[in-house]
Amino acid sequence: MNSLSLAVRDSHTMLRRNLLHAWRYPSATLNLLLTPIMMLLLFVYIFGDVMSAGIAGGGADRSDYIAYIVPGILLMTVGSTVIGAAVYVSMDMTEGLIARFRTMAVYRGSVVVGHVVGSVLQSVASVVLVGAVGVAIGFRSTDATALEWLAAFGLIALFALALTWIAVGMGMASPNPEAASNMAMPLILLPLISSAFIPAGTMPGWFRPIAEYQPFTPAIETLRGLLLGTEIGHNGWLALAWCVGLIALGYRWSTAQFNRDPM
């Protein structure tokens, strides 16, 4: 076998190990879905009447607000799931098993690749589950074409990949799982100050640029545009730039830490 097929084979082995963990301990993954689902139900059924007054220049009803909020909730789900990845990576790195892998003739990057691919797959599965809840309470896309659905799916996967690389870096930088969980906290807080729940335009002027240009808002606006036909504008490029930037940063950060001598 050449080195590429060895790299693929070892990465696949590591991925299977990660998925086996997720399969054996589903509650670890499912717990991470609670926050976005609670947020969805809370904002729709408890705050819904007030919130819907803020969109579409007022006069929107509950189903309009569901349509508005679901894209943001889906990307919040990604943020929540990758917090789990940060905790998991930090747990794994402190285990002796990783030291064993390092003394074996396996492809060095396979451990990291296994974590990254595993986390992206989990994020996508989580988004599908939360999306199903959204559909159950009445979310419908307004005549999105097959191509738009595909693009929406691709955007979610790319966004998951970007946040995952950052989360893996955080997991490696943390001395223990608690620290990893704290460090990754912004990944679930950022959606709260994005256009997920209310349009950025309704926020105070000084705060608006922060809300508009942080990574979640362009991605949410793009997803909204793909599923609901709203204006995407420059948000598509912004979202893409954020994803590529975060992937590059997270990749450099994670591999640099992984290749350092372990303590």
Partner 1 sequence: MPSSVMPTSRQGDGHLSTTAISAVGLRKSYGEKLVLDGIDLHIPAGSVFALLGPNGAGKTTAVKILSTLIAADAGELHVGGHDVAADPQAVRAAIGVTGQFSAVDGLITGEENMLLMADLHHLCKREGRRVAAELLERFDLVDAAKKPVSTYSGGMKRRLDLAMTLVGSPRIIFLDEPTTGLDPRSRHNMWAIIRGLVSDGVTVFLTTQYLDEADELADRIAVLNDGKIVAEGTAEELKRLVPGGHVRLRFTDPTAYQSAADALREVTRDDQALSLSIPSDGSQRELRSILDWLDSVGVEADELTVHTPDLDDVFFALTSGGNVPHQPQKDAR
Residues 169 and 255 sit within 8 Å (Cβ to Cβ): no
Which of 108, 173, 236, 249: binder of partner 1 (CB under 8 A)? 108
Q: Which residues of 47-69 are buried (b: 16+ CB within 10 A; e: fewer)?
A: ebeebbebbeeeebeeeebbbbb
Taking CB atoms within 8 Å and a gap of at least 24, the contacts of 31-39 are 32/80, 32/81, 32/83, 32/84, 32/126, 33/77, 33/80, 33/81, 33/126, 33/129, 33/130, 35/76, 35/80, 35/188, 36/73, 36/74, 36/76, 36/77, 36/80, 36/130, 37/130, 37/133, 39/73, 39/76
Q: Which residue bears the tokens 């508005």?
A: 68
Size of the site for partner 1 (CB under 8 A): 32
Is residue 27 packed enough to be buried (19+ CB in 10 Å), middle (13-18) or exposed (0-12)? exposed
Minimum gap (Å) between residue 242 Cβ and partner 1: 23
Rule CB under 8 A: say whether 142 interacts with partner 1. no
Choose the binding region for partner 1 from 5-13, 41-49, 54-62, 162-170 (rule: CB under 8 A).
5-13
The CB-side HSE value for 240 (13 A sphere, CA atoms) comes to 9
DSSP-based helix, strand, coil % in the chain, nearest 5: 80, 0, 20
Rule CB under 8 A: say whether 248 interacts with partner 1. no
Minimum gap (Å) between residue 41 Cβ and partner 1: 32
Minimum gap (Å) between residue 97 Cβ and partner 1: 5
Rule CB under 8 A: say whether 26 interacts with partner 1. no
Rule CB under 8 A: say whether 10 interacts with partner 1. yes
Which of 30, 95, 244, 248: binder of partner 1 (CB under 8 A)? 95
Minimum gap (Å) between residue 87 Cβ and partner 1: 14
Residues 170 and 257 sit within 8 Å (Cβ to Cβ): no
Which of 109, 199, 229, 236: binder of partner 1 (CB under 8 A)? 109
Choose the binding region for partner 1 from 36-44, 153-161, 225-233, 254-262 (rule: CB under 8 A).
254-262
Q: Which is nearer to partner 1, 1 or 136 (CB)?
A: 1
Choose the binding region for partner 1 from 115-123, 159-167, 173-181, 251-259 (rule: CB under 8 A).
251-259
The whole-angstrom distance between residue 219's C-alpha and the CA centroid of its chain comes to 11
Which of 62, 102, 153, 185: binder of partner 1 (CB under 8 A)? 102
Which of 34, 46, 97, 150: binder of partner 1 (CB under 8 A)? 97
Rule CB under 8 A: say whether 176 interacts with partner 1. no
Rule CB under 8 A: say whether 255 interacts with partner 1. yes
Residue 165, amino acid: W
State the residues that interact with partner 1 by CB under 8 A: 1, 3, 6-7, 9-10, 13, 16-17, 20-21, 24-25, 95-97, 99-109, 255, 258-259, 261-262
